[in-house]
Structure 1
Amino acid sequence: MRRVPLEPVTVLINQLRDIARSSVALLPNLTVALIVILLTWLINKLAASALSSTLKRTRLRRSLQELFTLLVSIAIWVLGILIAAVILFPGLTPASILAGLGIGSVAIGFAFKDVFENFLAGIIILFRREMRIGDHVECEGIEGKVAQIAIRESHIRQTDGQLVIVPNSILFKNPVIVRTDQDSRRVTVICGVAYDVDVDEARSVISDAVNACDTVISDEKPIQIFAQEFASSSINFEVTWWTGSKPVEVRTSRDQVVAAVKRALDDAGIEIPFPYRTLTFKEPLPLQRASGGADT
């Protein structure tokens, strides 16, 4: 019967024994490292609560308060994990840790380029004063109310109720129209009258009708009515006024003004023409009396 050589088994047993000794030797360090992690968690909770209470007394926006709380939390956790790593592995030095972080950050940066891009864009957007939660914005065909601005993404609630989650890099790199940056907004409609109508009279009737609408802001910003062009069937007026900046306020005001102008022109006997078409024939057309008609 062939015997198995004992030398490899002995080497394996010795290696396992060394690993066990090393593990037992690391138990105090592991215990202290776990205590450091637990203290880091506790300090992070206390610091976040204290910072949140302090920031609530300031005039900073809620999104900025959340950003500062997050950055402080990240700093506390990074410091705590570094201290625990040095305790667990005494051979580590600050220089070796920084070197490892430098090499690792390059690899992580290439792997998570889009994530970091959105993160940095989110920080810049949070510091903007021109786009706040509740504003109505438009960017790259997306239009709606800003519901939330997070670190990596922003939530846009469209006017039809749908929620669009937009990466912050899109809002940072593309033009953003903030429709509610001011309390008022200009609205324009085109109104046409017939060619035989007195232009000054029509302008006066339209102006009185627009001024009578309660959704029109006429105290601070005047109503403007300009004869715009000679159209195919009418003289077109450009009617411009100011109203609230929210989309629903714009739609409501436009509806009220159009109805008021139509009513005023009808009452004044001023025609709002539809397109006329004049047909010219090269030769005269013969006219034939319809059959079946009664002769008189």
Structure 2
Amino acid sequence: MEFLNPLREQLQSMWLSLVQVLPLLTIALLVVLITGILSRVFVGALLRSLARSGLRPALQSLFATLLKVTIWLVGLLIATTVVFPSLTPAKMLTALGLGSVAIGFAFKDIFENFFAGVLIMLRKAMRIGDFIQCQDLMGKVEHIALRETYLRQTDGQLLIVPNRLLFQNPVHVITDRDLRRYEIIVGIAYSEDVETARGIILQAVEGLPLVNSAQPVEVYAREFGSSSIDFTVRWWGKSAPLDRHQSRDQVVQAIKAALDKAGVEIPFPYRTLTFKAPVPVQTESSDAAPQ
């Protein structure tokens, strides 16, 4: 079986090479293990320090992630040079530089989301717990990661949004302030007195529990509608979505009850039908004999 001699020699050579490199592999594994321990220790210490500083949670997560990535890059670089002594850090950086263009095209979306996440975390406008709206997306910010943001929608569903979308499009931070101004339109009949109706609406809205008393309630005659004189009613309430619905519900009920009590008509749309020719109308006598 002499034809197997080359194969046997090759296997022996591979085994000897493995035995020679085994101590280096062991050292590299120890370096990786130490890197993991150092990463946990330093990141934990950084998070505790940042928590005492009162920094925003998004920035705390950003700094912790950047420190973790830096430690792991240094650790893996050391482990690689231990296993492959001829591969110096300078050569590795050169190889990364040559391949950066190809890597950039291959991971374009990932890099865009990464840098967008960093910039979003640095911004003060959007915080954890805020309700935001971006295009057709709306929800409560639960977590901001480096590549995506987690939104909890009002129906309970979790929405994962790429950071690039939030960075490149306008974002409405609904709960940036505790109070928001709301408005509805109320119509009264043309036969009603405008100033009287204005006073009734104003009195009905002022003093409601969900209407902020520190801000004035505003009632403006808006326009001549098709069936009514319309008023714009404005008030301030809490900015969360549930508070908005509750406040609007309370205001609508109070205005309707006050206008009904005062006898002020809230008209519905009228329709007047005209015909080119007279329409014959047949009437049936009440004393007609039954068939």
TM-score (normalised: structure 2) = 0.90
Q: For residues 244-292 of structure 1, what are the alpha-carbon distances to aligned partners after superposition, in whole Å with 9 as ceiling and x for unaligned?
A: 1011111111111111111111111111111223345566666654223
Which position in structure 2 is the counterpart of 1:70?
A: 65
Alpha-carbon distance in 2 for matches of 1:282, 1:31: 100
2:99 to 85, 97, 104: 104
Q: 1:22-61, aligned counterparts within 5 Å?
A: 22-61=17-56
1:185 maps to what in 2? 180
* Distance across 2 between alignment mates of 1:189 and 1:41: 58
Confirm or deny: 8 A CA contact 1:218 1:241 kept in the other structure: no
Per-residue CA deviation, residues 99-154 of structure 1 (Å, 9 max, x unaligned), is 11212333322222111211111111112211111111111201121122111111
Using the TM superposition, give the Cα deviation of residue 9 of structure 1 relative to its aligned residue in structure 2, in angstroms. 5.8
The separation in 2 between residues aligned to 1:154 and 1:11, in whole angstroms, is 58
Q: Name the counterpart of 1:230.
A: 224
- Inter-partner Cα distance in structure 2 for 1:33 and 1:280: 93
State the alpha-carbon separation in 2 of the partners of residues 53 and 74 from structure 1: 18
Task: Work out the CA distance in 2 between the residues paired with 1:12 and 1:44.
Answer: 45
- Pairwise CA RMSD of aligned residues? 2.2
CA distance in 1 between counterparts of 2:190 and 2:237 reads 31
Identity in percent: 52
* Residues 181-207 of structure 1: CA deviation (Å, up to 9, x unaligned): 111111111111111111111111111
Q: Helix, strand or coil for the counterpart of 1:186?
A: strand
- Unaligned runs of 5+ residues in structure 1 are none
- Closer, same or farther in 2 for the Cα pair 1:11/1:268, shift >3 Å? same
- Output the CA distance in 2 between the equivalents of 1:286 and 1:26: 108
Change (3 A) 1:229 1:86: same
Cα gap change, 1:257/1:14 in structure 2, threshold over 3 Å: closer, same or farther? same
How far does residue 21 in structure 1 lie from its aligned partner after superposition?
Answer: 3.6
Correspondence for 1:87? 82
Amino acid at match of 2:22: L
Report if the CA contact (8 A) 2:132-2:173 is conserved.
Answer: yes
**Of 151, 161, 167, which residue of structure 2 is paired with 1:166?**
161
Gaps of 5+ in 2: none
State the alpha-carbon separation in 2 of the partners of residues 154 and 37 from structure 1: 30
For the residue of structure 2 that corresponds to 1:227, the secondary structure is strand
Matching residue's letter, 2:50: L
1:269 matched to 2:269: no
Query: Partner amino acid for 2:52?
Result: R
Amino acid at match of 2:140: K
Q: Tell me if structure 1 keeps the 8 A contact 2:149–2:160.
A: yes
Q: Is the Cα contact below 8 Å between 1:217 and 1:243 reproduced in 2?
A: yes
Question: C-alpha displacement at 1:12, in angstroms?
Answer: 5.0
- Helix, strand or coil at the partner of 1:156: strand
1:40–1:80 CA contact under 8 A, matched in 2: yes
**CA positional deviation for 1:226:** 1.1
User: Which range is displaced more, 177-186 or 55-64?
Assistant: 55-64
Q: Find out whether 1:202 has 2:197 as its counterpart.
A: yes
Name the counterpart of 1:215: 210
- 2:120 is equivalent to residue 131 of structure 1: no
Aligned-partner Cα distance in 2 for 1:129–1:108: 32
Cα deviation, residue 239, structure 1: 0.8
Aligned residues: 288
Instruction: Give the letter for the 1:201 counterpart.
Output: T
1:153 to 139, 148, 152: 148
TM-score computed with the length of structure 1 as normaliser? 0.89
Q: Secondary structure at the match of 1:271?
A: coil
- Local SS of the residue matching 2:53: coil
What letter matches 2:220 in structure 1? F
Q: Return the offset for 1:38.
A: 2.1
| Whole-angstrom distance in 1 between the partners of 2:158 and 2:49 | 32
Q: Distance in 2 between matches of 1:272 and 1:158?
A: 36
Alpha-carbon contact 2:58-2:127 (below 8 Å) kept: no
